[in-house]
Amino acid sequence: MAISRKRIGILTGGGDCPGLNAVIRAVVKTAHHDYGMDVIGFKDGYEGIIENRYMHIDPKSVSGLLSKGGTILGTSNRADPFNFPVLQGDEYVYLDRSSQAVLNFESLGLDALICIGGDGTMNATAGMEDKGLPVIGVPKTIDNDLVGTDVTFGFDSAVVTATDAIDKIHTTAQSHHRVMIIEVMGRYAGWIALHSGMAGGGDIILIPEIPYDINCVCEKIRDRTAQGKNFSIVVVGEGAKPIGGDMVVAKVIENSPDKIRLGGISHQLAAQIEGITNIECRVTILGHLLRGGAPSAFDRILATRFGVEAVHMVAREDFGQLVVLKNNQLSQVAIQSVSGKQRLVDYDHPIVKTALSLGICLGHPEDISLEEYCNAIVPSNKIKFE
C-alpha cells in the first residue's frame, strides 16, 4: 500500500520580526529535501486558518528569503481563534472560531501545523492542541520573553539595531552636552534595554523588572557631570516605571488579545530629569524600527536551526512541543508548559551583575545591593527561570 505524501501547514503569528522568513525557508527546504512533504502557508497568522486563506510554498518560492525581514505569509497579533474579533455593525464581537480552524485544517488534509510566534501565539497553539490539532511551536519574539528557551530568534537583530542607534546618538550627546534618552521595545521584559544598553555604552539602563528611583537616576547624571562627563546616555525599556508608579500606556487596542500598547516613558523620564537637574534632555523612541530590516547572522542561523528541527519533529510526530535552544543545543518543551508565562529579567542574572560591575546605574541607590532594593520594594520581583 502506497504511503500518502504528508502535508505541513505553517503560520506566523503575533508581531513581525527579523528571521520569520528564514524559518519559513528552512521548513520548506527541509520538508521537500528530507521527507518529500508539501507545505501550505496560512496567511496572516491564525486569521488564515480560520478564514481558509493559504498559499502553497515550494523551494523555488522561498529562494532569497534568508536575508529578508518580515514574513511572506503576513501576520496578525489580533487573531486569537478562541476570541476572534468580528465586526458587527459598528462594534466588534468576540467569537470562538477554533472549531472552524480545525475543520479547515482537516479539509486540507494536513498532518501537522507549525506555529511560529511568541507568548500570545503559543497560548492559542496550546488551545488548538487541546482541540486535537498536531502542532509544533517555534519561538519568535524580539522581546525574548518566552519561557523554556534561552533565546528567541528576532531578539539579537533587535539588539543589533538598537545598539547601532545608541552608537549614533552618542556623538550628538557628546556634541551638545545633553542627556539622551533612548526608549526601546520589550513590553514587560527588559532584555532589549539591558543588552543594547550594555552594548551601546549606556550610563543608565532602566528596565520593567526594577522600578527606578528618579533621585538615583539624577544623582548618577550629576556625578558624571562632576567628573567632567558632560553628557549621559539613558536606555529605557518601554515597560519601565518609577517606584510607586505605573507603566506608561500609549494606547489601548480593544480588538486585540493584548490590548495594552506601552510607550512614552522616555518623555516622562525626560521631564523628571530636567526638572531635578536642569540639564537638557532629548528623547528618541526606536519603536517598530526594532522589528524591521534584515535578520542578524545569529538570527539567520538560529531561525534556520529552529525551522529544520521543527520539520524533524513533525516526522517524529513530536506534537505539542516547542523547539527551544538550551546551552546552544536544540531541545523541546511542551507548549502547554510555556503558555501563559513570561521570561523576565531576574535581578541576579549574570548580565545584570556585569552591568553593576561596570558602574551602570539601574535606577537604585548605590549604597545598597540590588537584591536588598528589589526585595524591599517588590518582594515578588525575583523571577526564577524555567
Q: Which fold would CATH assign to domain 156-291+346-377? A: Rossmann fold (3.40.50)
The secondary element (H helix, E strand) that includes residue 260 is strand 260-262
What does the alpha-carbon distance between residue 45 and residue 196 come to, in Å, rounded to a whole number? Answer: 29
Can you give the pLDDT at residue 256? 65
Q: Which of 112, 139, 119 is nearest to 10 (CA)?
A: 112
For 299-341, write each residue's pLDDT tens digit: 999 999 999 999 999 999 999 999 999 999 999 999 999 988 9
Same fold, 7-153+295-338 and 156-291+346-377: yes
State how far the alpha carbon of 289 is from the alpha carbons of 1, 17, 155, 165, in Å: 54, 10, 13, 10
The 8-class DSSP code of residue 153 comes to B
State how far the alpha carbon of 28 is from the alpha carbons of 34, 66, 101, in Å: 10, 12, 22
For 142-166, write each residue's pLDDT tens digit: 999 999 999 999 999 999 999 999 9
| CATH number, domain 7-153+295-338, options 3.30.110.70, 3.40.50.450, 3.40.50.300, 3.40.640.10 | 3.40.50.450
For 40-56, write each residue's pLDDT tens digit: 999 999 999 999 999 99
Could you list the active site residues? 143
Domain ranges of the chain: 7-153+295-338, 156-291+346-377
What does the alpha-carbon distance between residue 269 and residue 215 come to, in Å, rounded to a whole number? Answer: 11
- Cell output for 70: 518580515
What does the alpha-carbon distance between residue 40 and residue 307 come to, in Å, rounded to a whole number? Answer: 15
User: Please, are residues 334 and 322 in contact by the beta-carbon 8 Å criterion?
Assistant: yes
Identity of the residue numbered 306: F
Angle between helices 155-176 and 191-199 in degrees, nearest 10: 50
For 63-108, write each residue's pLDDT tens digit: 999 999 999 999 988 889 999 988 888 888 889 999 999 999 999 9
- Cell output for 333: 518543551
